[in-house]
């Protein structure tokens, strides 16, 4: 079989596998949305009964009329004749917005799988294709029962998930096959670790605000309805945590759009000094707990998306303020290096970062448990967004940090051609 035909076969298999994966993912999203809608409707109905009757009545006649949405009602009739008729239109409008937002997020994930899934599957099938080619080469080789048993035993002893063991049986003629299997194992282990970490971190980020909202809702349900102080505290906490969840979703959408090429840079030529000066003035006005200092330089012209680059500077300033005690100093500076490359840096005298953690601080949801523990909230995605922005501008970061001394993060950008 020719190499061209083999590649065609691999692509065909990859397309079929990706189609199955997209179908399964769509069904999972569909089931998840249906379950979520059902749970929210049941909770709303129970809450309506509790507010009207004081409890959820066991024996009662219930009637749901959710169509048309403009006149939707939920009716509960007790044996005594007492009747609740609750207007459901406002709740259904909110529920529809939630479903639309979830649909957009899920649509992005599905679109990413449709566009890039086949290439990913084909890449993962490459080691298997290499194995097949190696097997074909081995077909004319003297492959004794002893060799077969030796390879089978080596494969049986390794774990694709929990260990970093590799196949090595010491047979030079099987070296190519060993190498192909080991590469496949490395890819599987790396993919598993990334997926497990993302699921764990995303779940952690969402679990905290959901738990807070649920806790305050339960407290209101039990005794807080008539206590103004508890009511105000609960409303403030629920609004705050809802805002955190909204920010998390927006940042995830920003990263997803960026990865899929949906976020386009609007490049213009502007002065880096003016942009950092604006961030400096904004930071002084918003944050009264720290001392801000701006070290300016000669006018430095750059070409890029001023809005996104300003967002990067804001992210770095917010991080500096978050990990610097009240009264600490935060310095903003612009300049050029000996190569003529423009740069700006944000420096603080906060708690610093461990050296071993520095290579990972731009990863999504990264947590340096022994160092920069979050004290003032955040989603853990800010630096990931900043990195995407600077990578899109063909720039790079430089991080200098010492424990209990402070951190300086420098952004280098390409110089403007004369």
Quick check: is 231 in a domain? no
Which range, 155-164, 178-187, 293-302, has the best average confidence (pLDDT)?
Answer: 293-302
Structure confidence at residue 370 (pLDDT): 39
Structure confidence at residue 256 (pLDDT): 63
Tell me what the mean pLDDT of segment 154-181 comes to.
Answer: 69
Considering the domain architecture, whether residues 16 and 94 belong to the same structural domain is answered as yes
Tell me what the mean pLDDT of segment 271-280 comes to.
Answer: 94
The answer to whether the CB of 158 falls within 8 A of the CB of 167 is: yes
Tell me what the mean pLDDT of segment 366-385 comes to.
Answer: 60
pLDDT for 181 beyond 70: yes
pLDDT tens per residue across span 69-95: 888 888 888 877 788 888 888 888 888
Quick check: is 165 in a domain? yes
From 204, 229, 255, the end of a domain falls on 204
Considering the domain architecture, whether residues 182 and 305 belong to the same structural domain is answered as no
Considering the domain architecture, whether residues 198 and 275 belong to the same structural domain is answered as no
Quick check: is 136 in a domain? yes
Considering the domain architecture, whether residues 181 and 276 belong to the same structural domain is answered as no
Residues across the chain = 418
From 174, 204, 234, the end of a domain falls on 204
Number of domains the chain contains: 2
- Sign of torsion, CA 35 41 42 47? positive
Structure confidence at residue 194 (pLDDT): 61
* Angle separating helix axes 228-259 and 89-138, nearest 10 degrees: 40
| Residue 113, CA distances (Å) to 17, 26, 129, 255 in order | 11, 11, 22, 15
Quick check: is 303 in a domain? yes
Pairing of strands 268-271, 301-304: antiparallel
pLDDT tens per residue across span 206-250: 666 777 788 878 877 777 667 778 778 888 888 877 776 776 676
From 159, 180, 204, the end of a domain falls on 204
Lowest mean pLDDT among 21-30, 59-68, 182-191: 182-191
Structure confidence at residue 362 (pLDDT): 86
pLDDT for 6 beyond 60: no
Structure confidence at residue 345 (pLDDT): 96
Structure confidence at residue 172 as a pLDDT band (50, 70, 90): low
Structure confidence at residue 375 (pLDDT): 47
pLDDT for 5 beyond 80: no
The parent domain of residue 115 ranges over 3-204
pLDDT for 174 beyond 70: no
Beta bridge partners of 346: 332, 409
Quick check: is 237 in a domain? no
Tell me what the mean pLDDT of segment 259-281 comes to.
Answer: 85
Considering the domain architecture, whether residues 76 and 165 belong to the same structural domain is answered as yes
Residue 323: CA count within 13 A, CB half-sphere: 27
pLDDT for 127 beyond 90: no
Return d(Cα 411, Cα 406) in angstroms, integer. 17
Considering the domain architecture, whether residues 275 and 196 belong to the same structural domain is answered as no
Return d(Cα 27, Cα 32) in angstroms, integer. 8
Quick check: is 404 in a domain? yes
pLDDT for 371 beyond 60: no
Average pLDDT of the residues of the chain: 80
Tell me what the mean pLDDT of segment 180-184 comes to.
Answer: 79
Considering the domain architecture, whether residues 156 and 68 belong to the same structural domain is answered as yes
Return d(Cα 286, Cα 330) in angstroms, integer. 14
Structure confidence at residue 272 (pLDDT): 95
Structure confidence at residue 369 (pLDDT): 45
Considering the domain architecture, whether residues 175 and 295 belong to the same structural domain is answered as no
Quick check: is 244 in a domain? no
Considering the domain architecture, whether residues 191 and 68 belong to the same structural domain is answered as yes
pLDDT for 3 beyond 70: no
pLDDT for 273 beyond 60: yes
Reduced to 3 states (helix: H, G, I; strand: E, B; else coil), residue 415 is coil
Structure confidence at residue 142 (pLDDT): 55
170-176: long-range contacts, CB 8 A cutoff, minimum separation 24: 171/147, 173/138, 173/141, 174/138, 174/147, 176/130, 176/134, 176/137
pLDDT for 133 beyond 50: yes
Q: What is the percentage of the chain residues whose pLDDT exceeds 90?
A: 21
Considering the domain architecture, whether residues 162 and 306 belong to the same structural domain is answered as no
Considering the domain architecture, whether residues 192 and 315 belong to the same structural domain is answered as no
- Residues in contact with 300: Cβ distance below 8 Å, sequence separation at least 6, in sequence order: 271, 272, 273, 334, 335, 336, 342
96 in the Ramachandran plot: left (φ > 0), alpha (ψ -120 to 50) or beta? Answer: alpha
Considering the domain architecture, whether residues 370 and 273 belong to the same structural domain is answered as yes
Quick check: is 367 in a domain? yes
Reduced to 3 states (helix: H, G, I; strand: E, B; else coil), residue 161 is coil
Which range, 192-201, 253-262, 382-391, has the best average confidence (pLDDT)?
Answer: 382-391
Structure confidence at residue 16 (pLDDT): 81
What CATH number does the domain containing 344 carry? Answer: 3.30.565.10
The answer to whether the CB of 272 falls within 8 A of the CB of 342 is: yes
């Amino acid at each position: 079989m020719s190499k061209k035909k083999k590649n065609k076969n691999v692509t065909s298999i990859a397309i079929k596998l990706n189609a199955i994966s997209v179908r399964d993912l769509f069904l999972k999203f569909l089931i998840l949305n249906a379950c979520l809608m059902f749970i929210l409707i049941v909770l709303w109905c129970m809450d309506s009964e509790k507010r009207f009757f004081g409890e959820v009545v066991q024996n009662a006649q219930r009637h749901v009329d959710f169509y048309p949405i403009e006149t939707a009602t939920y009716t509960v009739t007790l044996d005594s004749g007492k009747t609740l008729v609750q207007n459901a239109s406002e709740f259904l409008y909110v529920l529809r917005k939630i479903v639309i937002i979830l649909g957009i997020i899920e649509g992005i994930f599905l679109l990413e799988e449709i566009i890039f899934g086949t290439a990913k599957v084909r890449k993962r099938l490459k080691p298997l294709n290499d194995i097949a080619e190696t097997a074909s080469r081995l077909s004319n080789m003297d492959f004794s029962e002893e060799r077969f048993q030796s390879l089978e035993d080596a494969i049986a002893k390794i774990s694709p998930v929990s260990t970093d063991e590799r196949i090595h049986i010491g047979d030079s003629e099987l070296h190519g096959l060993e190498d192909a299997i080991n590469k496949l194992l490395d890819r599987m282990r790396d993919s598993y670790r990334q997926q497990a970490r993302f699921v764990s971190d995303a779940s952690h980020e969402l679990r905290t605000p959901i738990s807070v909202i649920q806790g305050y809702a339960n407290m209101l349900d039990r005794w807080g309805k008539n206590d103004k102080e508890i009511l105000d505290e609960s409303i403030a906490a629920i609004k705050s945590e809802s805002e955190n969840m909204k920010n998390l979703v927006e940042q995830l959408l920003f990263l997803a759009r960026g990865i899929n090429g949906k976020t386009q840079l609007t490049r213009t030529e502007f002065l880096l000094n003016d942009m950092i000066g604006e961030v400096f003035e904004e930071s002084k006005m918003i944050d009264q707990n720290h001392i801000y200092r701006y070290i300016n330089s000669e006018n430095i012209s750059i070409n890029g998306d001023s809005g996104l680059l300003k967002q990067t500077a804001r992210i770095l300033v917010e991080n500096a303020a978050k990990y610097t005690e009240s009264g600490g100093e935060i310095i903003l500076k612009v300049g050029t290096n000996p190569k003529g490359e423009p740069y700006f840096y944000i420096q603080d005298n906060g708690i610093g970062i461990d050296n071993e953690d520095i290579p990972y601080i731009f990863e999504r949801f990264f947590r340096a448990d022994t160092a920069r523990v979050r004290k003032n909230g955040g989603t853990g995605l800010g630096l990931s967004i900043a990195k995407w922005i600077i990578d899109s501008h063909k720039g790079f970061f430089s991080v200098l940090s010492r424990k209990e001394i402070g951190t300086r993060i420098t952004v280098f950008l390409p110089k403007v051609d004369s």
